[in-house]
Structure 1
Amino acid sequence: MAGKRIALSWSGGKDSCMTLDKLAKAGEEVACLLTTVPREIGRTFGHGERTELIAAQADALGLPAEFIACSFDSYTEDYVARLGELKAIYGLEAIAFGDLFLAEHREWGTRVAERVGLEALYPLWMPPGETGEALKAFVASGYRAVVIRVRDEALSPAWLGRELDARFYADILLERNVCPMGEGGEYHTFVYDGPLFRKAVDWVPGERLRLETTTRLDIGPPTA
């Protein structure tokens, strides 16, 4: 029996990827990836990636990428309006989010889904104390990810560009007051290869950009 037709909220990072992997293993049908893009900036809301890299991920995964243009002042209303359109286009029955334990995020996603008549799914939901094991599982999963953003008060820029491997896992557990999965925004990642990818996403590191409260590694596609 076919699973639900699901839209997946996609940031490009490990949590999104873990959610997709879990849904696929459960036999659910992910119909499209949803990524919000601020009209004011033109990069992703989640991590600040270039939209072409998100599109490259979607292509490598064999899934449509849908970008939702949102304004800072009307984010929720913009999201709801476009999600309703995509529900009709893809025959969606549910939307999945990669949140782990932040109640306010789950409340927002559930309200948005209800307004559009969709079920809200949180396949990764877990107690905060299980995030270390979740990171360990990701490291062992075969997916490959790199750190592209850190919150300055939590981690130094030295973490930028690091692969999420066994050494990363060991080192992050030594950081006090840092969620191993970065659920508090301590770090963000970009996934570029793994079991569900038909091909690796090519990328190259760019400059490090110091922002208001974070530092970002500006990655991009290889230049010809």
Structure 2
Amino acid sequence: MKVCVLFSGGKDSTFALHWAVFKGFEILCLLTLIPKREDSWMFQHPNVEYTTYQANVMGYNLFKFNTSGEKDTELEDLYIALDFAKKLGADGIVSGALLSDYQRLNISLMCERLGLKSFTPLWRKNQEKYLLELIEDGFEFIITSISAYGFPYELIGKVISKEDAKRIISQARKFGFNPAFEGGEAETFVVNAPLFKRKLKVHGEVKRIGEENWKYIITHIH
């Protein structure tokens, strides 16, 4: 099975890629869609332009596509990217959709229009167990944005340890946000994973945007 992977650089799309490799799929390329709007319904916004570095240390070709980020028109942008994948010879698309019906349904519909299979290996996984399993399996990621009341904001820009993950889970139970961040409570950027040949070292700056809204702006990667 030849597949392309929708890749944002965050923990979910990186794990989906990891799953595809260990299922024996042939990875033709990674596809990154870069939204103009920060509040895109479909695509991650913070630091997605740096997926090139991740693709390089994993040894995969990556293709970037700009998207408006508008709720309806971004679906046509997705169609263009998936059509490109089909023309490369892909039989299917792998994505890191975790809990969002909107994302999973629209990816499936676009794949159906093109005669592609849609694979969502993370779908409906237990959110708490998944966060801990990621760290246990060697995924290292930093928090690049926070927008949830009760989320421990001092973790932004930090590689999340198992103890940090347990603290996030505890706060999620207390304040009611999603512990795996599927509701946009936080965004992540992977700096090391089993498929990485080298670890990425990331430098950046923290900005407070609002009362419960923090962002980590990556300024340099090596």
Q: TM-score, normalised by structure 1?
A: 0.86
Q: Specify the SS of the correspondent of 1:75.
A: helix
**CA contact under 8 A between 1:154 and 1:186: conserved in structure 2?**
no
Q: How does 1:31-42 map to 2 (within 5 A)?
A: 31-39=28-36
The residue type equivalent to 2:186 in the other structure is: Y
177-186 vs 59-68, which moves further? 177-186
Q: C-alpha separation between the residues in 2 aligned to 1:216 and 1:56?
A: 20
**CA contact under 8 A between 1:113 and 1:119: conserved in structure 2?**
yes
Identity score, percent: 25
Coordinate RMSD, CA, aligned: 2.2
Counterpart of 1:14 in structure 2 is 11
Q: C-alpha separation between the residues in 2 aligned to 1:70 and 1:213?
A: 27
The residue type equivalent to 2:47 in the other structure is: E
**CA contact under 8 A between 1:6 and 1:95: conserved in structure 2?**
yes
**1:133-183 C-alpha deviation (Å, 9 max, x unpaired):** 111110101121111111143525323123221111210121121222111
**CA contact under 8 A between 1:162 and 1:168: conserved in structure 2?**
no
Task: State yes or no: 1:164 paired with 2:163.
Answer: no
**CA contact under 8 A between 2:2 and 2:92: conserved in structure 1?**
yes
In the TM superposition, residue 57 of structure 1 has moved relative to its aligned partner by 0.4
**CA contact under 8 A between 1:61 and 1:198: conserved in structure 2?**
yes
In the TM superposition, residue 188 of structure 1 has moved relative to its aligned partner by 1.2
Task: State yes or no: 1:141 paired with 2:137.
Answer: yes
Counterpart of 2:103 in structure 1 is 105
Q: C-alpha separation between the residues in 1 aligned to 2:30 and 2:181?
A: 22
Q: How many residues align?
A: 214
Counterpart of 1:58 in structure 2 is 55
166-175 vs 153-162, which moves further? 153-162
**CA contact under 8 A between 1:5 and 1:30: conserved in structure 2?**
yes
Which residues of structure 2 form unaligned runs of 5+? none
Which residues of structure 1 form unaligned runs of 5+? none
Q: Specify the SS of the correspondent of 1:137.
A: helix
Counterpart of 2:86 in structure 1 is 87
**CA contact under 8 A between 2:9 and 2:48: conserved in structure 1?**
no
